[in-house]
Amino acid sequence: MSIQVKTKDSVYEVYLGENILQSFCSRETDKLSKYDQLVIITDEHVWSLHEEYVRRNFTLPFKLYIVPNGESCKTFESYYQVQSFLLDENCSRNSALLALGGGAVGDLTGFVAATFMRGIPFYQIPTTILAHDSAVGGKTAINHPNGKNMIGAFYQPTEVIYDFHFLKTLPEGEIRSGLAEVIKHSLISDTKWMDEFLNLPNLLAIENKQLLHWIEKGIRVKAHIVELDEKEQSYRKFLNFGHTYGHAIEASVGYGQVTHGEAVMIGMIPALMLSELHGNVEKGYARRVYDLANRLGYNFTHVLHCSFESLSMFMQKDKKSMNGELHFALLQEIGHPFMQKVSVEEIKSCDNQLRQWVK
Ligand code: NAD
Ligand code: ZN
């Protein structure tokens, strides 16, 4: 199965299914063989888990570069090292990169691809649930000590090969992290889909088939929004639902101390409270989603470890805040997002309410 993504300058397919790496390789042998070099960029952990599978199924010759796990690869140092590796290996404008990993590897590799020799093709081979989001849409970036994803480019992949095989080794924390973005896609796009989540008793009750179906739906939502607004001038801002407060949690707690998705799940609760206030979301909905998140094991105590002052400071610094004003993606109703200017006092009151629930 595949989902097409059309942007102003490119059209590409997101292939998804179980064990599709090999079919990708055989289907595209002609195209892939035209590149003078193929370089797989992956992280230590993914490679230790999946080297055998990749070597067995990716049947073309490739070079390999292994970066540190997770967020620690989105640094200037890793960026520089990968670029140096490509130069040392005599890669050219006719080489292609393959990002094998979660969102961190994808973001780094995409940014390397966007800038090596002014841009070479790259393929996304996502290995996390979260990367159903990050691998589609062409946002690539590394972090700066002053902020996450501050240095980057919009640069679309040539293709995305989402092989569900990789998801089997994900630990619970990463399942939770990815599921948060799936839930976000549900909240901003569909009036009924969210009911499927609200009926879940716990994380273990999620069947594999159902999860894969949700991931596919999530990719469709992301692809559709990217098609409408690739460069985040309008609709794409809706994808930031839960992220204004969520990013502030990540920054305050410390990157790597909380997964991106867990922070987004936390951030969606104040966003839902504000949607009750500014939109027509029924009263009590934020509490229902909070209870669901607790049943699924999201850890809200992170909120208690950061002061509102610190969160507020990071929210103002967010690159999406404009002239010091906070613009939140909110819901008019479930499935219908809109942008709203929100005062610090209003956020403080939601933050306060959330702290009461968590205590
Ligand atoms: P990640 O790449 O940091 O992976 C999380 C952890 O899971 C890592 O330790 C990794 O080694 C491990 N892992 C990866 N695949 C695995 C597998 N199959 N089995 C077991 N372990 C595995 O993180 P992520 O959660 O996928 O993505 C988060 C990153 O994505 C953040 O840097 C965030 O900023 C970025 N992001 C980007 C976009 C975008 O549009 N570009 C969107 C959302 C998030
Ligand atoms: Zn996100």
The DSSP line for 29-61 is: HHHHHHSS-EEEEEEHHHHHHHHHHHHHH--S-
Q: Which residue's alpha carbon is at the smallest distance from atom 38 of ligand 1?
A: 134
Active site residue 243: yes
Could you please state the CATH topology (level 3) that the domain comprising 2-168 is classified under.
Rossmann fold (3.40.50)
Q: Which residue's alpha carbon is at the smallest distance from atom 32 of ligand 1?
A: 104
- pLDDT score recorded for residue 322: 61
Ligand 1 atom nearest the C-alpha of 171 is 20
Could you check whether 2-168 and 172-358 share the same CATH topology?
no
Edge-to-edge strand ranges of the sheet holding 159-163: 2-6, 11-17, 159-163, 122-126, 96-101, 38-43, 63-67
- Cα of 49 vs centre of ligand 2, distance in Å, is 25
- Cα of 59 vs centre of ligand 1, distance in Å, is 25
SS3 2: strand
Active site residue 209: no
| pLDDT averaged per 10 residues in sequence order, the chain, 359 residues | 94 96 94 97 98 96 96 96 98 98 98 98 98 96 89 97 97 97 97 95 93 96 94 92 96 91 98 98 98 97 96 83 79 97 94 97
CA distance 182 to 199: 15
Give the type of residue at 11.
V
264 in contact with ligand 1, CB cutoff 6 A: no
CA distance 284 to 273: 8
Q: Note the ligand closest to the C-alpha atom of 246.
A: 2
CA distance 71 to 244: 19
107 is in an annotated binding site: yes
CA distance 329 to 310: 21
- pLDDT score recorded for residue 291: 98
- pLDDT score recorded for residue 117: 98
Active site residue 236: yes
Pinpoint the alpha helices (H) of the chain.
21-27, 29-34, 44-57, 76-88, 103-115, 131-134, 172-189, 193-198, 208-228, 243-253, 260-278, 285-295, 308-317, 344-358
The CATH class of the 172-358 domain is mainly alpha
Selected catalytic residue, list 50, 74, 139, 336: 139
Task: Decide if 77 contacts 19 (C-beta within 8 A).
Answer: no
CA distance 114 to 109: 8
Closest residue by Cα to residue 291 from 166, 178, 199: 199
- pLDDT score recorded for residue 318: 72
Q: Note the ligand closest to the C-alpha atom of 185.
A: 2
Pairing of strands 122-126, 159-163: parallel
Q: Which residue's alpha carbon is at the smallest distance from atom 6 of ligand 1?
A: 70
Active site residue 181: yes
Q: Which residue's alpha carbon is at the smallest distance from atom 21 of ligand 1?
A: 170
Active site residue 165: no
Counting every residue, how long is the chain? Answer: 359
CA distance 218 to 210: 12
Domain boundaries, the chain: 2-168, 172-358
- What number is the ipTM of this complex? 0.99
Task: Decide if 231 contacts 10 (C-beta within 8 A).
Answer: no
Q: Note the ligand closest to the C-alpha atom of 264.
A: 2
Q: pTM score, two decimals?
A: 0.95
